[in-house]
Amino acid sequence: MMYEEKIEEAITKIGGSITKGWYPVSERPERPPFAKEIEYQVGDLFWGKVHLRNEGDIYVLVISKDVFNWKDKISQLKIGGEVEDAAGGLLWLKENVETLENDLKFIKDYLTSLRSSKK
C-alpha cells in the first residue's frame, strides 16, 4: 500500500473524512511540486492537512475548532510523531505512516476529553 492510501486509511479509521483529495504543492507557481497535500476533517473537533513530501516526509496540520493554545498542551500529548510547531489553535506534527493513525486517534480523544471537561 502506498503512503497516500495509508494516510487516507488512517484518517477514515478514526472517523475522519477527506474534504479535498490529493493535490500538488509548489514553492511558487512556476516551480515543480515538492510535495502533495490532502485536507481532512474529524467531526466538529479538528481539521487540517496532511503534507506528504516527495521524499516521503509527512507533516500534519491540526487546527482545533475549540479555542485554546496548543503550546500550553504539548507536554500532555502522548504521540509518536514530533511537534514541529504549536501556536494558538494550530499544531504542526512531523509524522510517520506507522504512528499516524494512533496519533490522530489520540488527538481526537484528547480534544473530546478537553471539550467534555469544559461542560
Q: Give residue-wise pLDDT tens across range 67-113.
A: 788 999 999 999 999 999 998 889 999 999 999 999 999 999 999 99
**Residue 60 and residue 50 in contact, taking contact as beta carbons nearer than 8 Å:** yes
Alpha-carbon distances, residue 113 vs 6, 66, 90, 96, 118 (angstroms):
27, 12, 18, 25, 9
The structural domains of the chain, with segments of one domain joined by +, span: 3-114
Question: Is residue 1 very low, low, confident or very high in pLDDT (cuts 50, 70, 90)?
Answer: low
**Can you tell me the distance from the alpha carbon of 40 to that of 14, in angstroms, rounded to the nearest whole number?**
12
Q: Give residue-wise pLDDT tens across range 22-80.
A: 999 999 989 999 999 999 999 999 999 999 999 999 999 999 998 788 999 999 999 99
How does the average pLDDT of the chain come out, rounded? 94
CATH 3.90.1150, domain 3-114, yes or no: yes
CA atoms within 13 A on the CB side of 115: 14
